[in-house]
Amino acid sequence: MKLPWSRREPLAPAAQAYLDAAEPDVGRKVPVDSLTFIVLDAETTGFDPEKDRLLSLAILPAKAGRLEIGALQSWVIFQPTAALTPAVRVHGILPAETAAGEPEPAVLAELLPRLHGAVLVGHHLGFDLAMINAALRRHYRFQLKSPALDTAALAQRTLEAFRKTGYPGQRMPSLDEVCTHCAITPLDRHTAPGDTFTTAEVFLVLCARLTRQLGRPLVAGDLPIVSG
């Protein structure tokens, strides 16, 4: 009897290298300044990870309270079946633009080496990761194992205006709401590079505020980092 492909075919080199370097858990006492964070944002054709597709993606590394601006990377992704959906009215990525983009598996192969050993950061990050993982399953038969941090959850932990109340149905704050509260002007809203940069700013500001609140340097356990 033949084994399923998932058991008999090796992973692509980029996927295997990522898994070899991945550290799904972060020790609670690890200094935050010693960690590498990769802030990311994805723009998509819609909101269903199984039916919709990535249209653009951006990442920006951050470490020791600094953004590595020169390492900002963004991609427009080729999607031959991209259509004029309601999402296009938000992010403005037209089918003609994605027709000139890079193939999805090639973008993923470029993305994975940049995630080695990092904590992934995003605002309402679960959706972005679901879309990326769906693409990884399609092309590389695995999904991300990196630890992750949602800046919406960090805002709830750090800012009194967004504290969890215990009431059912409380929603997490939007990126615009957190920016307004922190006096941050969003950059190129609803574009992957713009939202990535804005989220990175929010992340650093919230970490700085939490440091002042605690009166000491942050350790990983101070942040709402979820294991991969």
Say which residue the tokens 């992750």 belong to: 148
The answer to whether the predicted template modeling score (pTM) of the entire model surpasses 0.85 is yes
Say which residue the tokens 């409380």 belong to: 170
pLDDT digits (tens, 9 = 90+) for 182-191: 999 999 888 9
Spans of all domains in the chain: 11-217
H-run or E-run covering 148? strand 148-150
- Buried residues in 6-42 as b, exposed as e (16+ CB within 10 A): eeeeeebebbeebeeebbeebeeeeebeebebbbbbb
What is 11-217's CATH topology?
Nucleotidyltransferase; domain 5 (3.30.420)
Residue 1 pLDDT grade (very low, low, confident, very high; cuts 50, 70, 90): very low
pLDDT digits (tens, 9 = 90+) for 216-226: 999 999 999 99
Give the per-residue pLDDT at 215: 98
Give the per-residue pLDDT at 2: 43
**Cα torsion through 121, 123, 124, 125, rounded to 10:** -20
Give the per-residue pLDDT at 7: 53
Separation of alpha carbons 88 and 210, rounded Å: 36
Phi first, then psi: what are they for 65, rounded to 5°?
75, 15
Residue 135 pLDDT exceeds 90: yes
Lowest mean pLDDT among 19-28, 82-91, 113-122, 203-212: 82-91
pLDDT digits (tens, 9 = 90+) for 58-114: 999 999 999 999 999 999 998 876 655 665 555 556 666 777 789 999 999 999 999
